[in-house]
């Protein structure tokens, strides 16, 4: 198992009372799998994904990576965990606006390795791989939505993560572009063996997964393997 | 792309905001550097002159201001040249080397210069009645000059010993020589009259460096003042001064202001002390205002960059990296502000110094480093709280969207 979570709960305090966005949830994510998470709005999909990626501290529960338990409260460890093992693809692309496509990728490489020339070469390779080698010096606002998402995917792959987390990666894209991006994710999963966990609203997108999870009120509703 | 590259790119990306962020610190450093450059030159010059001039006496028109020794005679009103004769004929003991001057600010091309007319010894000697003064004077100097002949090395005194100065000749200060690219033997045209540079005077660090000395009568004719002068310098014997020489001189020339250079110089020293205090107060103000203004700027910058900081955190950067990019930005801003402030203050002092007090101010290069160090320290201190707050920004997630 790549990731195991046990009795995970995330409680948000709100003015109208506390709410468990993720509620006593346990889940195993096998190495090399492609997991899709669906569920109604507010069912806790994003919350779960953020906890999986070490971006958010759960209120209680345990999580282990490669059978080693993570100290979810140690912020430094979690940042290192993110840079070493996790890649993120967000619905809104999350690119730094004043950095070019190439720079957005190499700034992620720089977290782990300070060799600037090497990082540049690797960033170029990645852009080539997502088919944007002619857009290296473009700024995010000079790229189309699909191109921006490709840059974001290239960045997510920069440090060879074992786990790629995607939160509605096609939410801002039209159906044709969505299919392209989903194809790229599938390819990453199959060719490189990267474990992919993708949150989506679209039933068609959910079909890309080999494990399909549905959340309801922060709890596991269905968990079906194809 | 390293974090320093990112910081530089971000600075450049928001360059228009830099101006407002740097304003306070640049102005602050500028004012301090300006005041200090000015008062250091002034202090140094006072020290030199206090040492050399001992008991010199200056006769000035009644209405003149004595706040500033160097410029006391510049653009002052005038009194008749015959006062010199009055002095000589009064036979007051202890009066040496009476030296009348007429000084005005004039333009040569685009350069401002100070033109001073003086009388060479030969002309004093040619007036039989003045010879007495000269002889008396030499005896007086020998008997009571403050401390030996080496004191007379000062250029200011040297020029009293000028033996001859032809009508078409002039002596020029080192500053003038530099600015107008003149050397001995060059021609210099002032108000349509051509002079030959007979001598370059050594640098003194005072307004004298910007002076052109010419024959008094030539200058009077050029300026059309008639037989008027703006000051008389007298070497007074120190013991005579304490025996009431000034009072005796005042009796002879009642409608003038007679003062010792010591008095003027002490006024100057008071001014300098005040300047030092003002610059200290400014330094304290700038530390607060500059620090707060940089802190405020960085705080605005952090808020503008919340998403981007979240992105950096998402891709694995630690809090300390966020601190680093913000403090580095403050450091770079301090660097720019310090350099800009130094340039502003130095140019300001060089430009305003001669206008207000007739002191030629030259840049003090050591202040370049002080400016940078102070500006950087202020900026870094100012950025600490915003940087700390920025460390608390959560890693990016879709939920933080606008
Ligand atoms: N920072 C927060 N503070 C308070 N409540 C929150 C916060 N983030 C999420 N929630 C609540 O937790 C619940 C789960 O939110 P989450 O964003 O995980 O849902 P989601 O399944 O991703 O929804 P969507 O499909 O709309 O993105 C929601 O009720 C939401 O209002
Ligand atoms: Mg969501």
Q: Is B169 exposed, middle or buried (0-12, 13-18, 19+ CB in 10 A)?
A: middle
Distance CA A125, CA A160 (A): 13
Atom 22 in ligand 1: which residue has the minimum CA distance? A46
User: Which carries the bigger pLDDT value, residue A74 or residue B149?
Assistant: A74
User: What does the pLDDT average to over A63-86?
Assistant: 90
Q: How far is A210 from chain B (nearest CA, A)?
A: 25
Confidence (pLDDT) at B230: 87
pLDDT confidence of B101, banded at 50, 70, 90? Answer: confident
Average pLDDT on B134-143 reads: 38
Q: Assess contact for B279 and B35: CB atoms under 8 A.
A: yes
State percent of chain B over pLDDT 70. Answer: 76
- Comparing B358 with A25, the larger pLDDT belongs to A25
Q: How far is B311 from chain A (nearest CA, A)?
A: 6
- Sign for the CA dihedral angle at B309, B312, B318, B323 comes to negative
Give the confidence band of B398 by pLDDT, cuts at 50, 70, 90. Answer: low
Query: What's the pLDDT tens digit per position in B147-169?
Result: 333 333 344 444 445 667 888 88
**The predicted structure's pLDDT at residue B41:** 76
pLDDT at B70 exceeding the cut of 80: no
Arithmetic mean of pLDDT, A171-191: 91
The residue among B130 and B264 whose pLDDT is bigger is B264
0.80 surpassed by pTM: no
Higher-confidence position of B76 and B185: B185
Q: What is the tens place of the pLDDT at every residue in B301-312?
A: 999 999 999 999
Tell me what pLDDT residue B265 has.
65
Q: Mention every residue, 6+ apart, whose C-beta is less than 8 A from residue A128.
A: none
| pLDDT value for A23 | 95
Q: How much is the pLDDT for A21?
A: 94
Query: What is the structure's pLDDT at B357?
Result: 66
Q: Angle CA(A124)–CA(A125)–CA(A126) in degrees, nearest 5? A: 90
Residue nearest to atom 3 of ligand 1 (CA): A12
Residue from A9, A10, A12 to probe ligand 1 pocket by mutation (most atoms less than 8 Å from CB):
A12
Report the pLDDT value the prediction gives residue B39, as an integer from 0 to 100: 80
ipTM summary value = 0.93
Does ligand 1 lie within 6 Å of residue A41's CB atom? Answer: yes
Least confident residue range of A73-87, B97-111, B237-251, B367-381: B237-251
Position B264 scores a pLDDT of: 66
pLDDT(B132) > 50: no
Nearest to A98 among B9, B315, B395 (CB): B9
* Residue of A97, A110, A152, A166 to mutate when probing chain B, most B C-beta within 10 A: A110
**Quick one: what percent of chain B has pLDDT higher than 90?**
29
- Cβ pair A25, A1 in contact under 8 A: no
For residues A130 and A184, the answer to whether their CB atoms sit within 8 Å is yes
pLDDT, mean of residues A14-40: 94
* Band of pLDDT at residue B130, cut at 50, 70 and 90: very low
Distance CA B19, CA B26 (A): 10
Residues of chain A above pLDDT 70, percent: 100
Span B336-357, average pLDDT: 89
- Per-residue pLDDT, averaged over B68-92, amounts to 76
Which is higher by pLDDT, A52 or B206? Answer: A52
Tell me what the pLDDT averaged over chain B comes to: 80
């Amino acid at each position: 198992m790549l990731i195991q979570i046990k009795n995970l709960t995330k409680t948000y305090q709100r003015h109208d009372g506390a709410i468990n966005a993720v509620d006593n949830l346990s889940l195993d994510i096998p190495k090399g799998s492609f997991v899709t998470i669906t569920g109604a709005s507010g069912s806790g999909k994003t919350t779960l994904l953020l906890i999986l990626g070490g971006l958010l501290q759960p209120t209680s529960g345990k999580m282990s990576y490669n059978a080693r338990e993570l100290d979810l409260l140690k912020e430094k460890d979690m940042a290192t965990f993110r840079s070493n093992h996790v890649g993120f693809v967000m619905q809104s692309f999350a690119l730094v606006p004043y950095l070019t496509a190439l720079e957005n990728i190499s700034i992620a490489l720089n977290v782990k390795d300070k060799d600037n020339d090497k990082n540049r070469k690797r960033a170029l390779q990645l852009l080539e791989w997502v088919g944007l080698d002619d857009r290296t010096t473009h700024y995010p606002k000079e790229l189309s939505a699909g191109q921006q998402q490709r840059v974001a995917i290239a960045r997510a792959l920069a440090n060879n993560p074992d786990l790629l987390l995607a939160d509605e990666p096609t939410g801002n894209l039209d159906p044709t572009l969505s299919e392209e991006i989903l194809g790229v994710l599938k390819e990453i999963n199959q060719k490189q063996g990267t474990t992919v966990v993708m949150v989506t609203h679209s039933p068609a997108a959910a079909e890309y997964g080999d494990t399909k999870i549905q959340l309801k009120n922060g709890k596991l509703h269905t968990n079906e393997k194809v | 792309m390293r974090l320093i590259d990112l910081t530089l790119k971000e600075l450049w990306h928001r360059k228009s905001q830099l101006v407002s962020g740097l304003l306070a610190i640049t102005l602050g450093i500028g004012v301090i550097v300006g005041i200090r450059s000015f008062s250091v030159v002034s202090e140094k010059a006072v020290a030199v002159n206090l040492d050399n001039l001992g008991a010199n006496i200056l006769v000035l028109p009644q209405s003149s201001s004595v706040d500033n020794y160097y410029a006391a005679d510049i653009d002052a009103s005038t009194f008749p040249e015959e006062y010199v004769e009055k002095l000589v004929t009064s036979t007051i003991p202890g009066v040496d080397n009476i030296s009348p001057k007429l000084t005005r600010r004039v333009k040569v091309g685009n350069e401002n210069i100070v033109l001073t007319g003086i009388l060479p010894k030969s002309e004093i000697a040619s007036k039989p009645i003045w010879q007495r003064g000269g002889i008396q004077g030499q005896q007086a100097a020998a008997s009571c000059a403050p401390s030996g002949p080496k004191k007379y090395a000062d250029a200011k005194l040297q020029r009293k010993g000028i033996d001859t100065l032809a009508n078409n000749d002039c002596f020029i200060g080192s500053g003038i020589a530099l600015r107008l690219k003149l050397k001995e033997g060059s021609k210099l045209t002032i108000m349509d009259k051509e002079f030959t540079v007979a001598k370059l005077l050594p640098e003194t660090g005072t307004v004298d460096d910007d002076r052109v000395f010419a024959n008094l009568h030539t200058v009077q004719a050029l300026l059309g003042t008639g037989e008027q002068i703006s000051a008389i310098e007298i070497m007074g014997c120190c013991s005579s001064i304490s025996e009431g020489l000034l009072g005796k001189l005042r009796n002879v020339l009642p409608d003038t202001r007679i003062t010792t250079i010591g008095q003027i110089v002490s006024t100057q020293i008071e001014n300098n002390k005040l300047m030092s205090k003002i610059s200290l107060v400014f330094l304290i103000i700038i530390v607060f205002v500059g620090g707060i203004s940089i802190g405020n700027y960085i705080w605005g910058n952090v808020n503008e960059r919340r998403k981007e900081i979240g992105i950096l955190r998402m891709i694995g950067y630690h809090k300390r990296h966020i601190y680093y990019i913000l403090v580095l930005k403050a450091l770079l801003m301090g660097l720019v502000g310090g350099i800009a402030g130094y340039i502003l203050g130095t140019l300001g002092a060089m430009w305003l110094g001669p206008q207000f007090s007739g002191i030629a101010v030259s840049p003090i290069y050591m202040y370049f480093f002080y400016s940078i160090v102070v500006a950087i320290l202020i900026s870094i201190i100012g950025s600490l709280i915003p940087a700390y707050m920025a460390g608390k920004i959560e890693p990016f997630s879709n939920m933080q969207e606008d």
